Amino acid sequence: MANRISEDAPEGARPDIVRIEGVSKRFRVRKDNNLKDRIVHLGKLGKAHRQDFYAVDDVSFTIAAGTTVGLMGANGSGKSTLLKLIGGIVTPSAGTIERRGRMAALLELGAGFHPDLSGRENVYLNASILGLSRAEVDERFDDIVEFSGIGEFINTAVKFYSSGMYVRLAFAVAVHTDPDILLVDEVLAVGDEAFQRKCMDRITQFRKEGRTIVLVSHSAQQVAELCDRGVVLKDGAVVFDGPTNAAIGALRDVLDGRRVGEAPPEQTIHSIQVKGVELLDAGGAPTASIATGDAVTIRVRVDALHPIERWEIGFSIDTPLGQMVLASNTEVLGVHLDPISGPVDVDVTIDSVHLGPGQYYINANAAGVSEPSSHGIMQAVLLTVTGQSTTFGAVSAQISVSESASD
């Protein structure tokens, strides 16, 4: 329990539970991949037919006890390899990794399971690998089976399990080993929605208990919901390490092919330009945060280099990874704007914002109709939506439930 810290503890009061110093992992990739090529090249300039590939390249950071860290990046960026290095599954080619406390790793589908053994036998086998005694497994066995939902299939050989059953049983074992550090790879994406929610709830419980979690996920929603911090990898190197929402924005930069923090390219600029975007609360005061269900006004500042008779504006609200959740424009709304010949502010008011708690980017654009021209600003402002929601996802709703006797 010494390695578990209250989630309310300040950052400086949390000791390091994992230290990574100058870690690299090199793999040697052969260009002569078949037996014939290897025989032909035998004894000849072997190095010409081998190439070193760095899956993790000179990575250094620490993880404080009781924090949840999300490892993010595009496919092939080194996330899973780094997680295996932290878990001691593979050894680094250079650098050092220090860790303390009991560690449970859920890194690959059914890792640690023997296909010819039953689910029951694999529970005991896998739990013993993770450090539990037989008596401890006996005590927790029923809870493991109940959590997994395997039911009567617990006595069936796991080679007959579906991928979802593998994941459910493997995760159930991992979370019942009382770990100080839990490593979770993308395997949660295999389970059904109900089981994913059960896993998310258990990870949330672990956070409250002060356990340390390192999570690899392609889901920005999972990372935003669970993690205190995000580490973004590109080509095996860390390109961002910081608060979760900023890390999700950095990941979007990487996925869009930009350097982290680099402004996205502007749309084509003609004779009409969006000069800025501002958010106002219900009282008309500038704001960057509203509660779910509140009103918000998007003020778009537009300018024209010369008079334009007919023009329109539009806006969209995106998640940090660029998924649109709401959009409209003056044409769809049936609003005709007065001719523009200079700076103009256009206010678009959303009477009630039904977005789930989280952060969203506001994009805005203006376009000439009588004279083809357009300009927009992506990620012009960041809106934070606060509040308690009884629903999940980017959309919030008030839901009521009634019950009546059926005929």
What pLDDT, on a 0 to 100 scale, did the predictor assign at position 102?
Answer: 85
HSE-CB at 231 with a 13 A cutoff on CA atoms is 23
* Residue 342 or residue 222, greater confidence: 342
The model's pLDDT over 148-192, given as tens digits with 9 standing for 90+, comes to 888 889 999 988 988 778 888 888 888 888 889 988 887 666 566
Sequence-ordered list of residues with C-beta below 8 angstroms from that of 106, at least 6 positions apart, any chain: 170, 171, 174, 182, 183, 184, 185, 187
Give the chain's mean pLDDT: 83
293 HSE (CA, 13 A, CB side): 6
Mean local confidence (pLDDT), 95-122 = 83
% of the chain residues with pLDDT over 90: 34
| pLDDT top residue among 46 and 204 | 204
Region of poorest pLDDT, from 284-293, 301-310, 338-347, 393-402: 393-402
User: Model-level pTM?
Assistant: 0.64
DSSP state of 387: S
Predicted pLDDT at 255: 78
Tokens of 109: 């589908």
**Closest of 29, 32, 34 to residue 51, by C-alpha:** 29
Q: Of the given ranges (261-265, 293-297, 370-374, 387-391), which has the lowest mean pLDDT?
A: 261-265
- What is the structure's pLDDT at 49? 60
Give residue 264's pLDDT. 56
SS (H, E, C) 255-324: HCCCCCCCCCCCCCCCCEEEEEEEEECCCCCECCEEECCCCEEEEEEEEECCCECCEEEEEEEECCCCCE
Burial 175-188 (b: 16+ CB within 10 A, else e): bbbebbbbbbbbbb
Q: Which residue has the higher pLDDT, 395 or 286?
A: 286
* Out of 57-71, 113-127, 254-268, 282-296, least confident range: 254-268
CATH for 272-386, among 2.60.40.1220, 3.90.650.10, 2.70.50.60, 3.40.190.150? 2.70.50.60
Q: Reply yes or no on whether the pLDDT at 119 is more than 70.
A: yes
Four-residue CA torsion sign, 116, 121, 127, 132: negative
Average pLDDT (258-282) is 73
Residue 121 bridge partners (DSSP)? none
Averaged pLDDT, 211-239: 86
pLDDT exceeds 50 at position 268 = no
Higher pLDDT, 71 or 40: 71
Mean pLDDT of 307-332: 89
Give 152: exposed, middle or buried? Use CB within 10 Å, 0-12, 13-18, 19+: exposed
Strand pairing category for 272-280 and 296-304? antiparallel
Average pLDDT over residues 293-322: 90
Report the distance separating Cα 273 and Cα 378, nearest Å.
13
> Is the per-residue pLDDT at 69 higher than 70?
yes
Confidence grade of residue 231 (pLDDT, cut at 50, 70, 90): very high
- How much of the chain is in helix, strand and coil states, percent to nearest 5? 30, 35, 35
Share of the chain above pLDDT 70, in %: 85
25-29, 38-42, 55-59, range with the lowest pLDDT: 38-42
pLDDT confidence bin for 200, thresholds 50/70/90: confident
CA 325 to CA 332: how far, in whole Å? 17
pLDDT at 225 over 80: no
Element (H, E) at 40: helix 35-41
In this prediction, residue 281 carries a pLDDT of: 93
* Domain extent listing, the chain: 11-255, 272-386
Residue 326 · residue 297 · CB < 8 Å: no
Long-range contacts of 187-191, Cβ-Cβ distance < 8 Å, separation of 24 or more? 187/106, 187/107, 187/108, 187/109, 188/217, 188/222, 189/217, 189/218, 189/219, 190/109, 190/163, 190/164, 190/166, 191/164, 191/167
Q: How far is CA 24 from CA 59, 96, 155, in A?
A: 7, 9, 42
CATH, range 11-255: 3.40.50.300
| Average pLDDT of the residues in 207-232 | 84
Question: Cα(166)–Cα(154) distance, rounded to whole angstroms?
Answer: 11
